[in-house]
Every structure is written in structure tokens, then in C-alpha cells.
């Protein structure tokens, strides 16, 4: 790593890989412009106490959920919030922040905006204004990134000419020079490798493959212990003729107990279609049965002696591709097309790839690639003259990522089982092609009677609410998943001693088609159940399409204004879960209206009241797109 005084440091905090991709582009452009030293690092690999010794830092951060920073930024952010850091702590540091967000969310690019303000308060000097990438833009976040980068280099070129002397090389890069891949692949003799790999079970094989992948090194909990769970129930919750397919899955461990708590999520590693993996390997002219070691360049070299004595991990190439490289569901990044252009032997294909990789072709690439959900395999098939070396494919193919699902069961009520409530994802592209979500479709196709072990990691959340705290739960659609767990847990806890009441607001389109867990809710709303009116709780449902005028959960909340306010006055915690579009903002506005109406305060005071609740850990929003 270069000395802080002479380098440009680029740090990123990524949730899906977009921020990492954008940060790497910043690094590549700086190197092309002649920057003598560039380091691109994930934020959680940098010691924040060393930040004052840096001179030029570019931050690229995404925003998740309702304005939250990615997991990889949380420790760094906590450090920046320390009260003993003075207003001159970062004096002499110049910085720039680019955020990746979605203006459809209420707290658009919140993480980037907060970081920018905090750096300024600590005495750092902004090079240019914070850049705000927007997924709603016709070109995605790149619509803002390209002009923002140009402004960044122009500003640095004027103020720090010795660091970035050649603007022309950044604006018009020499596309005849590719450089080397950042990944190296070592090939092994098959006899020795076969002998080593035969002793691995499927759990160890997954850990070996994914710990070997450079692209997965910076994703959280890859190295944490995981479970191999068996599906024991696959039940459709929506009617067969409904256009929505929502499933209830029950998973259990054949060998050991499962440790989790309500509010946790389950990360699942989906299986790719074997035929898609075979097609990718065949298209790329790879040997599926050879054994390889993959690692990032720059690691300590392994001697020939250690290779001969078997001290190095190795894995079958086909297994590595299947477990780490998303070849048939994720779209490649823009740099993938630039690198492809170097290996195209057809002049027509080379020109098209270079156009796609250029600022002029950005919008057309976005329509061809992201909007259509084109996969790595489909892109390679569209450019048959391209033969990319495996090192570049490993570096540039999006990693096969785990998918997170809210757990909808309670360990008290269902020991050794985890239940999930999953919407089976499918959509139509602008060119009318049907796409299917990789993980949800794979789960839906599993037969509980067959031996299918599912790789899972428990993703722990904050501590669940104490049984003595009243709850106001709002979860339309599959947003009800975590609240099924909350209700089941309270029911189990209420047997030995009384628990605080729960108000639950559920919403769906039609009473007949998608009223998820109808019998479960009504069972707990009757007699002395935890949702019963007798116990101070209540279950209220809104069917949005069963009448001419659409009716949503926020309308039910306002109808039950007095009940909501009484529970809030007695110290209730609020939990909202579901779609990330308009629902969270509409529900929050309804709650503010309830507070205004029942307490007589102003709208501003109602908003402050909810923010205080959030600071005290009693107002939670969990959403997904």
C-alpha cells in the first residue's frame, strides 16, 4: 500500500456490488491519468483513526433500507461519530463523496449525505459537491457518476497537478492497453487434487470455494458458521389463479439445532442451474474437470514445494464456477464490456463493445444490459468472437450472492425449525422477456420429500423487544413475515406470564387470493390471544382491491387512531416491514397524523416525536424492493 502523502485513497461501502464497481472505476481512471499511487479499499478494511494522515480520499457509499449505511460502513461511521474528534481533526484532508441510492426511497442517499456533512464538521475540505447516483435515472447511478467524475478530475487537475497531470488520458483513455487481471489461477495435476477433494463434504466445499473467491472477500459473514438445512414443507399461500405466488417454506437441520431469535433474517445461497453452468463453461472453452486455486494477485507467493505437498486449497473448476460466479442471473458491469472489447476478434463486435463502454454509449448499454436483465452467459453468447481468459472472467463476473429473507417463525414455538414467507419473483423486461428470481424460483422448485440441503447463514438483527413492551406492527404483503414470528413468540411467552398487547395491521389485494396466514392471525385474535381485543391488542386488515376505492394499511391505522395512540402512550415500539416503494412513507405519515389528532400537537412535533422514538430503538423500518 502506498504512503498516505503520495496517494489517492478510494474507499467504498457496498451492499450489492455497485459501489465497489464505481470505486474501482475511480481507481482505474486515476491510474490512467497518471496518478502515481492509487489504493481502492472496502471501508471496513481501513483503520479510521488513520484518516487524518491521508491527503486525498474519495468515498463511494451506497444507502440501504431506510437510509442505513451498508454493514461494511457501520464501524467506520461509529468511529467518525466519536465526541472526542474535534472540528480540526481532519484538517488538511481533501475528500469527495459519491452516493448510490434510489430516489423512490424516503431517505434517498442518506448515508452519503450524512458522511459528507460529518467529514465537513471534522475539518476536511470537500473537493467537489457530493455526487448522488440514482437508480431511477434512465442510465442508473452511472448517469450521475460520469459527469461527477469529470468534475472531480478537473478540480484535482487545477489544484493538485502533480498528482493527476493528464486529464486527456482520463477523458480519452487508450483502449489499446488493458493491463493485467487482478486475479491469478493456478492449475493442478488432477490426480492429487481429486484425492484431496474427495474428503470434502458439501458444507466444507462451499466454504472452500467461497473463501477462495477474491470477489467474495469483502462480503459479510462468508466465514461465519452456516447450516445445511432440509426443506420439510413447501406450501403455496396465494390461490393458484392469483398472479402472485407466495410460498411458506419450513426448513430444519438434520444434524444439529439452529440458533436464532425473532427479527433475524436467513441468508440463503441459491443453486444455479447445472445446464447454465455447463453452457458457460462450454462457451468459454474451459475444462470443467480441472482443479484450480484462485486468489487475488499480490498475496504471498506459494512455493512449488508447498504445491507438491498439498498445502494449498484446490477445487474443481466447475464447482468453483457454480458456487461463486453468478453466470445466469446477474448482469455484468460496464467494465466487463470494456475488457471484452480487447478480446473480440470481430471488428464489428469490438466497435460495439467499445461504444457500450464509452460515455456516449452509456444509455444504450443500460437499456441492453440492466433493463433487460442480461446475464453474463447471454452477453458472451451475443459476442461469439470474444474469448476472455478465465482470470478476467473470475474478476469481472458478478459474485453469486446470498439472498436474505426475514424469518417468520419463533424458536420458542418451533424449535429446530426456520420458517420463511417468500414471494416467488418474476417480471417482464421492456422487450417482453420473462425473468425469474434465482433464489425464490429455486426454492419454489424444491420437493420437500427429496434430499435437498440448502446452505444457510443466520443474519442476526438487534435484540427482539421485551415481552413487557407493547407492539404496533405494520406489515402488508410478505412484510408480515417477521411479525408472524413476533406473534408466535409472544404467544409462547404468554403461557407462563402475561405479555404486553400487540396491534397488527396487515394489508393485501384481495381477501380471497392473497390473505397470507389468515387462520394464524384470527386464531391469535380470538379469546385471550396476543392479538385479541380483550388483551388490549387487535388485528386489522386492509384489502386494497376489494372495493372501488383503494384502501391500504395507512387508512386502517387512521381508523384505529385512539387504539394506536393509547399503545404509544404506554411505551409501544413500532415495527414496519414490506415494500420499499411508497408504503413506509405513507405509513409514517399516517402515524404522524394519529399523533397530531390524538395529542393536539403540530405536524412538526409529531415528526420529532417519531424521530425520538427511533433514537430510543422503538421505531424500526425494514423494507425490500
What is the full DSSP assignment across 484-539? HHHHHHHHHHTTTS----EEEEEEES-TTT--TTHHHHHHHHSTT-TT-GGGT-EE
Q: Is 405 annotated as a binding residue?
A: yes
Q: Is 437 annotated as a binding residue?
A: yes
Q: Is 135 annotated as a binding residue?
A: yes
Q: Is 260 annotated as a binding residue?
A: no
Q: Is 506 annotated as a binding residue?
A: no
Q: Is 478 annotated as a binding residue?
A: yes
Q: Is 296 annotated as a binding residue?
A: no
Q: Is 322 annotated as a binding residue?
A: no
Instruction: List 504's β-bridge partners, or say none.
Output: 473, 539
Q: Is 439 annotated as a binding residue?
A: yes
Q: Is 143 annotated as a binding residue?
A: no
Q: 365 with 374: CB under 8 angstroms?
A: no
Q: Is 550 annotated as a binding residue?
A: yes
Q: Is 403 annotated as a binding residue?
A: yes
Quote the CA–CA distance of 551 and 580 in Å, as a whole number.
Answer: 18
Which CA distances in Å does 249 have to 81, 238, 241, 397, 604?
41, 13, 20, 30, 43
Angle (deg, nearest 10), helices 603-615 and 583-599: 110
Q: Is 544 annotated as a binding residue?
A: yes
Listed residue (279, 173, 265, 210) closest to 460, CA to CA: 265
Q: Is 213 annotated as a binding residue?
A: no
Q: Is 116 annotated as a binding residue?
A: no
Q: Is 578 annotated as a binding residue?
A: no
Q: 120 with 90: CB under 8 angstroms?
A: no
Quote the CA–CA distance of 213 and 428 in Å, as a whole number.
Answer: 32
Q: Is 65 annotated as a binding residue?
A: yes
Exposure letters 285-303 (e unless 16+ CB within 10 A, then b): ebeeebbbbbbeeeeeeee
**What own/partner pairs with CB < 8 Å and gap ≥ 24 does 428-435 have?**
429/371, 429/372, 429/373, 430/367, 430/371, 430/372, 431/372, 433/372, 433/373, 435/373
Q: Is 605 annotated as a binding residue?
A: no
Q: Is 19 annotated as a binding residue?
A: yes
Q: Is 153 annotated as a binding residue?
A: no
Quote the CA–CA distance of 201 and 204 in Å, as a whole number.
Answer: 5
- Identify the three-state secondary structure at position 171: helix
Q: 5 with 163: CB under 8 angstroms?
A: no
Q: Is 275 annotated as a binding residue?
A: no
Q: Is 289 annotated as a binding residue?
A: no
Q: Is 515 annotated as a binding residue?
A: no
Q: Is 529 annotated as a binding residue?
A: no
Pairing of the two strands 227-236 and 183-188: unpaired
Which CA distances in Å does 430 have to 138, 143, 224, 372, 404?
13, 19, 40, 7, 27
Contacts of 353 (CB under 8 A, 6+ apart): 337, 338, 340, 341, 344, 383, 386
Q: Is 475 annotated as a binding residue?
A: no
Quote the CA–CA distance of 606 and 418 in Å, as a whole number.
Answer: 38
Which CA distances in Å does 607 have to 11, 265, 556, 596, 623?
34, 29, 20, 9, 20
Q: 253 with 259: CB under 8 angstroms?
A: no
Alpha helices in 526-599 (DSSP H): 553-559, 561-569, 583-599
Pairing of the two strands 227-236 and 453-459: antiparallel
**Cα of 230 vs its chain's centroid, Å:** 25
Binding residues for FAD: 403-406, 437-440, 624
Positions at the binding site: 14-19, 62-65, 135, 403-406, 437-440, 478, 544-545, 550-554, 586, 624
Known binding residues for NADP(+): 478, 544-545, 550-554, 586
Annotated binding-site residues for FMN read 14-19, 62-65, 135
Amino acid at each position: 500500500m502506498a504512503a498516505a502523502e503520495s496517494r489517492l485513497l478510494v474507499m467504498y461501502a457496498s451492499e450489492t456490488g455497485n459501489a465497489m464497481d464505481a470505486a474501482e472505476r475511480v481507481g482505474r481512471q486515476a491510474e490512467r491519468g497518471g496518478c502515481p499511487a492509487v489504493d481502492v479499499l472496502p471501508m471496513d478494511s481501513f483503520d479510521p483513526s488513520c484518516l487524518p494522515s491521508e491527503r486525498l480520499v474519495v468515498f463511494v457509499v451506497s444507502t440501504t433500507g431506510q437510509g442505513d449505511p451498508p454493514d461494511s460502513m457501520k464501524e467506520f461511521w461509529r468511529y467518525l461519530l466519536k465526541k472526542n474528534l474535534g472540528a480540526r481533526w481532519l484538517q488538511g484532508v481533501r475528500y469527495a463523496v459519491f452516493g448510490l441510492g434510489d430516489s423512490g426511497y424516503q431517505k434517498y442517499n442518506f448515508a452519503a449525505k450524512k458522511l459528507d456533512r460529518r467529514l465537513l464538521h471534522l475539518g476536511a475540505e470537500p473537493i467537489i459537491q457530493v455526487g448522488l447516483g440514482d437508480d431511477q435515472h434512465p442510465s442508473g447511478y452511472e448517469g450521475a457518476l460520469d459527469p461527477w467524475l469529470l468534475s472531480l478530475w478537473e478540480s484535482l487537475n487545477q489544484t493538485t497537478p502533480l498528482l493527476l497531470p493528464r486529464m486527456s488520458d482520463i477523458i480519452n483513455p487508450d483502449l489499446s492497453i488493458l493491463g493485467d487481471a487482478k486475479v491469478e489461477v493456478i492449475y493442478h495435476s488432477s490426480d492429487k487434487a481429486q484425492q484431496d477433494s474427495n474428503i470434502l463434504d458439501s458444507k466444507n466445499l462451499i466454504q472452500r470455494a467461497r473463501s477462495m473467491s477474491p470477489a467474495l472477500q469483502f462480503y459479510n459473514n462468508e466465514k461465519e458458521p452456516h447450516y445445511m438445512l432440509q426443506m420439510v414443507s413447501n406450501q403455496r399461500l396465494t390461490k393458484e389463479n392469483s398472479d402472485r405466488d407466495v410460498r411458506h417454506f419450513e426448513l430444519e437441520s438434520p444434524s444439529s439445532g439452529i440458533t436464532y431469535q425473532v427479527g433475524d433474517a436467513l441468508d440463503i445461497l441459491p443453486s444455479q442451474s447445472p445446464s447454465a453452468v455447463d453452457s458457460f463453461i462450454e462457451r468459454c472453452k474451459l475444462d470443467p474437470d480441472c482443479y484450480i486455486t484462485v486468489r487475488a494477485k499480490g498475496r504471498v507467493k506459494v512455493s512449488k514445494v508447498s504445491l507438491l505437498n498439498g498445502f494449498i486449497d484446490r477445487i474443481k473448476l466447475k464447482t468453483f464456477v457454480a458456487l461463486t460466479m453468478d453466470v445466469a442471473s446477474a448482469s455484468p458491469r460496464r467494465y466487463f464490456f470494456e475488457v471484452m472489447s480487447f478480446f473480440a476478434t470481430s471488428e464489428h463486435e469490438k466497435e460495439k463493445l467499445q461504444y457500450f463502454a464509452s460515455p456516449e454509449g452509456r444509455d444504450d448499454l443500460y437499456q441492453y444490459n440492466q433493463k433487460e436483465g442480461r446475464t453474463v452467459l447471454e452477453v458472451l453468447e451475443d459476442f461469439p468472437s470474444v474469448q476472455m481468459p478465465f482470470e478476467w472472467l473470475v474478476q469481472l463476473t458478478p459474485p453469486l450472492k446470498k439472498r436474505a429473507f426475514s424469518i417468520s417463525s419463533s424458536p420458542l414455538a418451533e424449535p429446530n425449525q426456520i420458517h420463511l414467507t417468500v414471494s416467488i419473483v418474476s417480471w417482464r423486461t421492456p422487450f417482453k422477456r420473462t425473468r425469474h428470481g434465482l433464489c425464490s424460483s429455486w426454492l419454489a422448485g424444491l420437493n420437500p420429500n427429496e434430499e435437498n440441503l440448502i446452505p444457510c447463514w443466520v443474519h442476526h438483527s438487534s435484540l427482539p423487544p421485551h415481552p413487557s413492551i407493547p407492539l404496533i406492527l405494520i406489515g402488508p404483503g410478505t412484510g408480515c413475515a417477521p411479525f408472524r414470528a413476533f406473534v408466535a413468540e409472544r404467544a409462547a411467552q404468554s403461557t407462563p406470564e402475561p405479555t404486553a398487547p400487540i396491534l397488527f395491521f396487515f394489508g393485501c389485494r384481495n381477501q380471497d387470493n392473497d390473505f397470507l396466514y389468515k387462520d394464524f392471525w384470527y386464531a391469535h385474535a380470538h379469546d385471550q390471544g396476543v392479538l385479541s381485543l380483550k388483551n388490549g391488542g387487535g388485528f386489522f386488515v386492509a384489502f386494497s382491491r376489494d372495493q372501488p376505492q383503494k384502501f391500504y394499511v395507512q387508512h386502517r391505522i387512521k381508523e384505529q387512531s385512539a387504539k394506536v395512540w393509547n399503545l404509544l402512550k404506554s411505551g409501544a415500539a413500532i415495527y414496519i416491514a414490506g415494500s420499499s416503494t411508497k408504503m413506509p412513507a405513507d405509513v409514517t405519515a399516517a402515524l404522524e397524523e394519529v399523533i397530531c389528532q390524538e395529542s393536539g400537537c403540530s405536524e412538526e412535533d409529531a415528526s420529532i416525536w417519531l424521530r425520538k422514538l427511533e433514537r430510543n430503538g422503538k421505531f424500526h423500518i425494514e423494507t425490500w424492493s
